[in-house]
Structure 1
Amino acid sequence: MIDQQAVQSFRRLATLTVIAVYFLILVGGIVRASGAGMGCPDWPTCFGQWIPPTEESQLPPDYHERYAIGYENTQFNPVKTWTEYLNRLTGVTIGFLIFLTAWRSRIYRSDDKVIFYLSWAVFFLVGFQGWLGSTVVASNLKPVIITLHMLLALFIVALLIYILARSQKAHWGYLDISGLPAKFNKVLVAAMAMTLLQVVMGTQVREAVDLIANEHAYIDRQYWRDDFPIIFYVHRSFSSVILFTNAWLFWKIFQGVGRTTLIFKVGILLMGLIVTAIIAGISLDRLGVPPVAQPIHLLMATLIFGTQFFLAIYLHYSRNASRIM
C-alpha cells in the first residue's frame, strides 16, 4: 500500500513541474518576441562565460569574428543576452524539478510501474530537449529545429499531464457520459490534431516574422504585416475551424454533463483559452505585432493542447472508474 502522504507530495511536485514547464514556454516566447534567441551565441556558456557580460568592454575585441554566427554584423545587447540567459536558467531549474518528480515516482514501482517508467522517460527527454536547444543556437535558429523543439516541449507536457492524471485516477468518481454523443472522443482527438497542426503553422509564421523583424531592425512594426507569407493567412483562417470544433465539444458537454463536474469546468477553461488565443492573434495581425501578444499567443496554444489532452484522459479514467476502484 502506497503511503498517502508520499502520494500527495508526488502530485504536488508533478503539478508544480507542469506549471513550471508552461512558464518556460512563456519565457521562451518572450525570448523569441524580443529577438533574444541569439543573445548567447554559444551553449552552455554565454560568450564563453558562465555569467554573461553586462558591457561590450567585457567581451574580446574580436567577438564579431569569434561569434560570427549571430554577431558578425550585430552589436552586443546586454538586455537580449540576459533574457536568453535567464531562459536557460529557467530550463535548468525545471530540469531539477523533473528529476525530483522522477525520483519521487519510486513509490509507484510496485503499484503502477507506468508512472515510474514514464517519469524517468520525461527526465531523459528533457535532457534531449536541452541538447536540441543547444542545436537551435548552433544552427542560428534554423526553422526545422525550432519546430522540433516546440513539438518536443508539447510531448513532454503531455507526458507530465498523463503522469499526474494517472496518479490520481482512483480518486475520480464514475462520470455519467451517456449524454455525450458517441463520436465525442473522435472529435476531441481530431481537435487535438488540429491544435498540433496549428502550432506547427504558428512556428512557421513565427520564423517568417523573425526574418521580417530582422530586416526592419525590429522597428516599424506597423509595416511588418505587408510582408507576411501565405502560411500566415492559412494559420489565421484555420483558427476559425479550431474555434467551431472546440465550441461543438463544449456545447455537447454543456448539454450532456452536469454543471458541477470537473469536465464542465475544463470545458469552460478550454473555451476561455481559445478565445484568448484568438484575441492575441488578432492583435498581432491588426495592432502591428505587439511584443506582449506574441508569447501570450504561444502560451495559449500550448495550454489549449494540454487542456484537450487532460480532457481526453479524464474522460477515459472517469468512464472506467468502476473498474479502477
Structure 2
Amino acid sequence: MQIKPLLKITLVFTLCVILMGAYTRLSDAGLGCPDWPGCYGMLKVPSQAHELNQVQQAFPEHTVEADKAWLEMIHRYIAGTLGLLVLLILAISLKTNDAPKKLPMFIAALIIFQAALGMWTVTMKLMPIIVMAHLLGGFALFSLLLLLYLRSKPLRIPGGDLPARKLAGFAAISIGVLLLQIILGGWTSSNYAALACTTLPFCEGNWVDNLSFAKAFSPFQGEHASFEYGVLDYSARMTIHVAHRVGAIITTAMLLYLAFKLIHTAKSTTIRNAAWLLAVLVVVQVILGISNIVLHLPLGIAVSHNGGAALLLLTLVFINYALWRKA
C-alpha cells in the first residue's frame, strides 16, 4: 500500500478528530460517558431497558444523557480509527526501505499518549491542564503527519528561493507565537472563559484592576468532584480571556506581516500561494473570534475557530518546512 494516499486520509481523520473533540467539549458532552473507553461499561450508548437497568446498578449517581453520550462515543470511534491508521503508517514505514522510521515511531507513540490523555480527561473529570494537553496533542499530531507527508513527497523550490529564505527565522518565531496563542485558546476553552468578556476590544468594566494572573494560570486548581463548567472565579477567567485577546492581536500582526513579506519577496509560486493562504486564514480566524464574542459563542462558529487554528498551524508548518529545508 502506498503511504502518501494513506497519509492524506489520516490527515483528514486527524482534522475530523480535532473538530469532533471541539464540538464535544463545546457541547458540554466531555463527561457524556463517565468511564473509558466504553460508555457505562458498553461499546455503545446504552438505550435498551435492560442496558439502562445495568447502568442504574453500576452507575447509580449518573443519568444517561443519550445526546451527550453519543457525541463522546462518536469522538472515540473516530479517534480509535485514527489510531489504527497511524499504526498502519508505522507498519508500512518500517517495511519500506527508503521511508522515514523515527518520525512514524514518534507519531505512533504520540497517538498512544493521546489515548491516555483522553482517558485522563474523563477520569480526572475535565481537569483543565489535561483537557488542554489533549487538545495540543491533537494539533501536534496534525503537524507531524503533515511533516511526514512532506518528507514522502519532496518539495521542489526552484533555485532555492533565497530571498524568501531570509524570512526563515521570522517564520520560526511566528510559529512559536502561534503555538502560544493556541495554548492560550485551549486554556480559555478548558476553563470555560470564552464568554468572560462580551465587549470589544478587551473587556467590560474596570478589567485592568481585576486581573489575577496567579489564579488564572495556575496549572493545578485543587481537588474538585468535577471541573465541568469551570472552577475559577470571574477575575481569573477574565484574565485568561484578556490574555487570549492580547495574544490574538500579536499573533495576527506577526502572521500578516510574514504573509505580506513572503508574497512580495518569494520567487516560488508555491511559497507565495502558501503566504496568500496564510493571510486568508488569519483574516477568517479573526472574524470567527470576533463573531464568537458578538454572537455569544454559537457552536458552529466556535468549532470553526478551533478548526481555523489547526489549519493556520498546518500552513505555518508547511511554510517553515519550505523555508528551512536544504535547497
Same fold per superposition (TM over 0.5): yes
Structure 1 unpaired stretches of 5+ = 1-5, 219-224
Residues of 2 paired with 1:21 and 1:120: CA distance? 17
C-alpha change, 1:191 and 1:205, in structure 2 (3 Å) is: same
Cα distance in 1 for partners of 2:305, 2:324 equals 29
Give the one of 239, 251, 254 matched to 2:248: 239
Once the two structures are TM-superposed, the CA of residue 55 in structure 1 deviates from its matched residue by 6.4
Deviation at 1:212, TM superposition (A): 7.8
Residue 229, structure 1, aligned to residue 218, structure 2: no
Distance 1:228 1:148, change over 3 A: closer
Asked if residue 179 in structure 1 is aligned to residue 163 in structure 2, the reply is yes
What is the rounded CA distance, in whole Å, between the counterparts of 1:282 and 1:45 in structure 2?
37
> Match for 2:28 among 27, 30, 35?
35
2:171 matches 1:163: no
Deviates more, 1:172-181 or 1:231-240: 172-181
State the shift of 1:191 in Å. Answer: 1.1
1:53: which partner in 2?
46
Q: Which sits farther off after the overlay, 117-126 or 226-235? A: 226-235
- Tell me, in whole angstroms, the C-alpha distance in 2 between the residues paired with 1:16 and 1:195: 25
By how many angstroms is 1:210 displaced? 7.2
Paired with 1:252 and 1:191, the residues of 2 have a C-alpha distance of 13
CA offsets, 1:223-243, max 9 Å, x none? xx9995221122112212111
Q: CA RMSD in A?
A: 2.7
**Measured at CA, do residues 82 and 257 of structure 1 come closer, stay the same or move farther in structure 2, by a change above 3 Å?**
same
- Worse-superposed segment, 273-282 or 59-68: 59-68
By how many angstroms is 1:176 displaced? 4.2
Cα shift at 1:120: 2.5
Aligned length: 292
Percent identity (aligned): 26
Which of the numbers 116, 123, 129 marks the counterpart of 1:144? 129
| 1:195 matched residue in structure 2 | 178
Instruction: Indicate the residue corresponding to 2:108 in structure 1.
Output: 123
Cα contact 2:165–2:324 (8 A) shared by 1: no
Asked whether the equivalents of residues 205 and 229 of structure 1 are also in contact (C-alpha less than 8 Å), the reply is no
Partners in 1 of 2:324 and 2:60 — Cα distance?
A: 51
The verdict on how the C-alpha distance between 1:97 and 1:67 changes in structure 2, with shifts beyond 3 A counting, is farther
Residues 283 and 167 from structure 1, CA distance in 2 versus in 1: closer, same or farther, beyond 3 angstroms? same
Deviation at 1:245, TM superposition (A): 0.6
1:36 to 1:132, Cα distance in 2 relative to 1, 3 A: same
> Kindly tell me: are residues 249 and 209 of structure 1, through their superposed partners in 2, closer, same or farther at Cα, counting changes over 3 Å?
same
* Distance in 2 (alpha carbons) for counterparts of 1:156 and 1:178: 30
| Larger helix proportion of the pair | 1
Identify which range, 51-60 or 184-193, moves more after superposition: 51-60
- Secondary structure of the equivalent of 1:288? coil
* Aligned mates of 1:210, 1:87 — CA distance in 2: 23
Structure 2's unaligned 5+ residue stretches are 197-227
Displacement, 1:66?
A: 2.7
Q: Report the Cα offset of residue 49 of structure 1.
A: 0.9
Larger deviation, residues 95-104 vs 21-30 = 95-104
Where 2:101 maps in the other structure, the secondary structure is: helix
Verify: 1:103 aligned to 2:91, yes or no: yes
Conserved 8 A contact 2:193-2:241? no
Residues of 1 paired with 2:169 and 2:239: CA distance?
Answer: 30
Name segments (4+ residues, structure 1) moved above 6 Å. Answer: 210-213
For residues 240-287 of structure 1, the C-alpha deviation after alignment (integer angstroms, 9 at most, x for no partner) is: 2111111111111111124x7111111111122222221111111111
Paired residue secondary structure (1:180): helix
- The answer to whether the 8 A contact 1:188-1:312 is kept is yes
Q: Is the 8 A contact 2:195 2:297 kept in 1?
A: no
Q: 1:293 to 1:299 in 2, by over 3 A?
A: same
What is the 5 A alignment of 1:255-274? 255-258=264-267, 261-274=269-282
Structure 2 Cα separation of the partners of residues 66 and 212 of structure 1: 33
Q: Displacement, 1:57?
A: 7.3
Distance in 2 (CA, whole Å) between partners of 1:144 and 1:230 is 17
**8 A contact 1:209–1:228 mirrored in 2:** yes
SS at match of 2:191: helix
Contact 1:17 1:94 in 2 (8 A): yes
In 2, distance between residues paired with 1:96 and 1:185?
35
Deviations 1:71-117 (A, max 9, x none): 4xxx43111110110000000111121122112213543x35xx123
Task: Verify the 8 A CA contact 1:129 1:152 in the aligned structure 2.
Answer: yes
Q: Distance in 2 between matches of 1:154 and 1:313?
A: 17
Structure 2 residue 263 is matched with structure 1 residue 275: no
CA–CA distance in structure 2, aligned partners of residues 231 and 274 of structure 1: 21
Deviation at 1:307, TM superposition (A): 1.2
- Distance in 2 between the 1:179 and 1:106 partners? 38
TM-fit CA distance, 1:178: 2.9
- The amino acid of 1:35's aligned partner reads D
Distance 1:25 1:245 in 2: 25
